[in-house]
Structure 1
């Protein structure tokens, strides 16, 4: 039996899955501890139900995924509004250096993934699907690039990328704390306790939203998305392979910096809120359509590549990030945070760093500025271009 859902039914199911995922996160503390997003929880649960139906040959689902691309482009357009050159300059040389280090990590993850994929006689795009796409990028980037890999003929790449992203969310939490603790203890960096200080970037803020500001935010997002379609078409015309959201992201970045240059203010909180809504809906729709049965033939090479990525991330944080960022207490905290967003998400990074600063009762203001600034704002921008670069090389 085939259950065919139209556009509205598909959206309604995605919302239901999002609600179920949120309820499970609240009930199962382990999911919350590892910062597994609600749409990932609900989506994977539904994909397991789909797997049961497929393997038993009793039922399958077909979805109208028209809105999925709209939510995808909407989310990444809001990411573009965070690409402020003025903000990066305000972060100082440390934030800029950490951004460069993170870009190197993106490149190395993809080189390792592609190299091991070729070792298993797999398409290089499988390496990208187990490289920076799911790890630095997370579920959102996986959902964006996975279909592009499949359009290039790599069967199951979207499912692999989503599975790798979920694996990374867990490992990002498991590795960061031990790495940071080892660096602090081995180098005796804790020293005397300092006055507790908490950077504003880690304080939960209550945002008051009103209809006018939300409308203005929605308008500017849609305008950027519209301009982005022209940019994306231009990329296609000159023969470059880019995901559909790149145009909107670039348009938003240009608009943001024009606003900064002219000293005009954007309603960034509202833009971020709308972006989070788009991401939640997109992830629900992307994950509920996963075809887990496509993983069967690739389970072994995928696990080998992902375990190698965990080893790479641990060594990179311990020997590269720590040294380049100054070999001090803040550098150790940054190394811990890098494991968080380098394998999982910025939320994992913040959790890792907060755990360590609480343990040693010593603040790390440099770390709490650089990591969220780079991890949640700038690295997604550069990661998308890095993935696209490798795609064009190996297409």
Structure 2
């Protein structure tokens, strides 16, 4: 059953509405900053899984627009970045690069020890470690096929998909609460002014006042990030340099906004922020409704134990290492929340966690620079290198 793009977007919007409504009604979800996309998206994806189980048909969403929305969002991130913020984020990024490697090592160590204690193949520990968690679905499938072909490990791909899906859910459920706890416990506040749209409040309705010229300028700048970013992406691919498309768009946004500032050309950032918020919410909605929850039907026993232990490991690492090393400030708390989402699930989950925090406690541009750069390509390169090194050890050869 193929769901086309317009219907996919409509279902994603409905999922977001459901998530916002439930989070407002259930104080626990609001208190612990569970992203609305996670709340509503899990309900929709559960309904989809029920339909698949009862009808025997696969439901496939058209996610081409989702990928474009991600590029649009990161274009706005780049357009909102200033050189001062980038320089501040550079130190945090350098620290996070080392911590990301530490996370990969701990994930594989945890998974391998549990697999060996249960009398299972140690390779299952790698699948339940960085291969599926920090790596995500794509990495899980790739390495799973290799384990099946070269190590005769049955069902490695499907087990990896199960871990990756469980990681997405757990990352979305844990990251927000941990970040909110760090903020409250340390009485942290955002040091950046919120860019609020001019509006009129009447009863329960809010009417935003947006100038058409400002909106057109925002659309033009985002379109330039798309067009020029695509050209640079194509050129880099031609010379053998592979980067995610959204990264080139974000870098173009950074160059554009700082170039205009150099010539004293002022840009109203509020419509850009609005476009970014819209793109992000739709992207998250589409991502969450398309979760393959049926792959979790075998997530019992060893898999459940591994996931619980991995969640404990990344939480302890974040609270006692990541947060202190980043300076124990508000940005550190937001980055910590994103780190959990990225480490257990994927970069979009980390962004969802940070978005839930910044919507409630205030902006953190540094977090939106550090986590995407970390999750875009570095962690995949480090992950592939580490797994390859581990496979050369004797413990994984038998």
Normalised by the length of structure 1, the TM-score is: 0.70
Deviates more, 1:109-118 or 1:248-257: 109-118
1:104 corresponding residue in structure 2: 98
CA–CA distance in structure 2, aligned partners of residues 307 and 269 of structure 1: 42
1:340 corresponding residue in structure 2: 337
3-state SS, counterpart of residue 265 of structure 2: coil
CA–CA distance in structure 1, aligned partners of residues 325 and 62 of structure 2: 50
Residues 266/108 of structure 1: CA separation in 2 closer, same or farther (3 Å cut): farther
* Alignment pair present for 1:167 and 2:165: no
Residues 48/96 of structure 1: CA separation in 2 closer, same or farther (3 Å cut): same
Please state how far the C-alpha of 1:46 moved relative to its aligned partner. 1.2
CA–CA distance in structure 1, aligned partners of residues 44 and 318 of structure 2: 36
In structure 2, stretches of 5+ residues that fail to align are 113-121, 146-156, 199-208, 342-352, 389-398
Please state how far the C-alpha of 1:302 moved relative to its aligned partner. 7.0
**Preserved CA contact (<8 Å) 1:116 1:305:** no
**Preserved CA contact (<8 Å) 1:148 1:243:** no
**Preserved CA contact (<8 Å) 2:161 2:295:** no
**Preserved CA contact (<8 Å) 2:108 2:130:** yes
1:376 corresponding residue in structure 2: 368
Please state how far the C-alpha of 1:323 moved relative to its aligned partner. 6.2
2:130 corresponding residue in structure 1: 127
- Give the number of equivalent residue pairs: 344
1:243 corresponding residue in structure 2: 244
2:9 corresponding residue in structure 1: 11
Structure-to-structure mapping, 1:113-262, within 5 angstroms: 113=107, 119-121=122-124, 127=130, 129-131=132-134, 146=137, 161=164, 163-175=166-178, 200-201=191-192, 205-207=196-198, 208-262=209-263
Deviates more, 1:309-318 or 1:220-229: 309-318
Residues 337/225 of structure 1: CA separation in 2 closer, same or farther (3 Å cut): closer
* Alignment pair present for 1:56 and 2:59: no
* Alignment pair present for 1:267 and 2:264: no
**Preserved CA contact (<8 Å) 1:130 1:306:** no
User: Which deviations, in whole Å up to 9, do the C-alpha atoms of 1:94-121 show, x marking residues without a partner?
Assistant: x654443334333333343455567444
**Preserved CA contact (<8 Å) 2:326 2:332:** no
Please state how far the C-alpha of 1:334 moved relative to its aligned partner. 6.9
In structure 1, stretches of 5+ residues that fail to align are 134-144, 185-189, 191-196, 326-330, 355-367
1:390 corresponding residue in structure 2: 382
2:25 corresponding residue in structure 1: 27
User: Which deviations, in whole Å up to 9, do the C-alpha atoms of 1:184-205 show, x marking residues without a partner?
Assistant: 7xxxxx9xxxxxx965537683
Select 2:43's aligned residue among 42, 45, 49: 45
User: Which deviations, in whole Å up to 9, do the C-alpha atoms of 1:251-302 show, x marking residues without a partner?
Assistant: 2222233233333333322212111111111222222222111234566447
**Preserved CA contact (<8 Å) 1:74 1:221:** yes
Residues 33/260 of structure 1: CA separation in 2 closer, same or farther (3 Å cut): same
Residues 159/70 of structure 1: CA separation in 2 closer, same or farther (3 Å cut): farther
**Preserved CA contact (<8 Å) 1:162 1:287:** no
CA–CA distance in structure 1, aligned partners of residues 111 and 233 of structure 2: 29
CA–CA distance in structure 2, aligned partners of residues 303 and 251 of structure 1: 44
Which structure 1 residue ranges, 4+ long, deviate > 6 Å from structure 2?
Answer: 122-126, 156-159, 177-182, 332-335
3-state SS, counterpart of residue 101 of structure 1: helix
1:75 corresponding residue in structure 2: 73
2:306 corresponding residue in structure 1: 304
